[in-house]
Structure 1
Amino acid sequence: MYQVGHEFSKPYVFTAENIRRFAEEAGDDNPYHRDETKAAASRFGGIIASGPHMSAVLMAVCASSMAGKRDGVGLDFNFRFIKAIPAGTSTSLAWTVTGIEPHAGLKGDLVTLDGRIVDEAGKVYVTCQARTVVWPDKAGV
Structure 2
Amino acid sequence: MTAQSSTPGSDERPLPSVFADDLTVGDRVQLGEFLLEQQDLIEFAERWDDQWFHTDPAAAATGHFGGVIASGIHTIAILQRLTVEAIYGQWAVVAGRELESVRFLEAVRPEDTLTGTIEITDIKLGSTRGRVSLSCQLVNQAGVPVLATDMTIVMFRRQPAAN
The TM-score normalised by the length of structure 1 is 0.85
**Residue in structure 1 matched with residue 15 of structure 2 by the alignment:** none
Contact 1:39 1:45 in 2 (8 A): yes
Output the CA distance in 2 between the equivalents of 1:25 and 1:68.
Answer: 31
Shift of 1:79: 0.8
Look up the SS of the partner of 1:39 in the other structure: helix
Pairing 1:55-70 to 2, within 5 Å after superposition = 55-64=76-85, 65-70=87-92
**Residue in structure 2 matched with residue 71 of structure 1 by the alignment:** 93
Contact 1:63 1:74 in 2 (8 A): no
Shift of 1:94: 2.6
Shift of 1:19: 0.6
2:132 aligned with 1:92: no
**Residue in structure 2 matched with residue 10 of structure 1 by the alignment:** 32
Rg comparison, structure with higher value: 2
Larger relative helix fraction: 1
**Residue in structure 2 matched with residue 82 of structure 1 by the alignment:** 105
Could you list the per-position Cα deviations for residues 81-103 of structure 1 after superposition, in whole angstroms to 9, with x for gaps in the alignment?
A: 11111111111043122222213
**Residue in structure 2 matched with residue 47 of structure 1 by the alignment:** 68
| Identical-pair percentage | 24
- Does the C-alpha gap of structure 1 residues 63 and 103 become closer, same or farther in structure 2, counting only changes over 3 Å? farther
**Residue in structure 1 matched with residue 124 of structure 2 by the alignment:** 101
Output the CA distance in 2 between the equivalents of 1:75 and 1:103.
Answer: 16
Larger relative strand fraction: 1
Letter in 1 for 2:138: I
**Residue in structure 2 matched with residue 25 of structure 1 by the alignment:** 47
Contact 2:93 2:153 in 1 (8 A): no
Aligned length: 135
2:145 aligned with 1:124: yes
Contact 2:98 2:153 in 1 (8 A): yes
Output the CA distance in 2 between the equivalents of 1:47 and 1:74.
Answer: 31
The TM-score normalised by the length of structure 2 is 0.74
Any stretches of 5+ residues in structure 1 without a counterpart?
Answer: none
Output the CA distance in 1 between the equivalents of 2:141 and 2:121.
Answer: 23
Any stretches of 5+ residues in structure 2 without a counterpart?
Answer: 1-17
